[in-house]
Amino acid sequence: MEYAVIQIGKKQYIVEKDQEYTVEKLDTPEGESITFDEVPLYVSEKGIDIGKPFTKVKVDATVVEHKRATKVVGLIYKTNGHRRKFGHKQHQTVIKITNIA
């Protein structure tokens, strides 16, 4: 079993080859490939590689689609019966890991 931990922005994701993951929005167009250089941990059959802060492993991925998450509804209540309702949909990107090298 081979997997790596990649860092995208301030978040870290545990990824395996040929799997799809939903991450925060990336500016890469759909169908384009992207390489992640910030890999703090890599685990393979040969052993564990821990970076200080990052390893020399690169993770290649392809952008499958851009989408929006489910809607989150919030309410703000104030005095005298005033209230405000708002919604928010976070932009997300679906990536497929093609290679861990």
pLDDT at 90: 98
Cα–Cα distance for residue pair 101/95, rounded to 1 Å: 17
Task: Write down the residue that tokens 């301030």 correspond to.
Answer: 10
pTM for this prediction: 0.86
Q: Which amino acid is at 97?
A: I
Residue range 49-80, pLDDT digits in tens: 999 999 999 999 999 999 999 999 999 999 99
**Looking at the DSSP assignment, which residues form a beta bridge with residue 12?**
7
Q: Please report, for residues 38, 39, 74, the alpha-carbon distance to residue 52 in angstroms, rounded to integers and kept in the order given.
A: 11, 10, 41
Give dist(CA 63, CA 31) in Å, integer: 5
Q: Quick one: which of 51, 35, 48 has its CA closest to 101?
A: 35
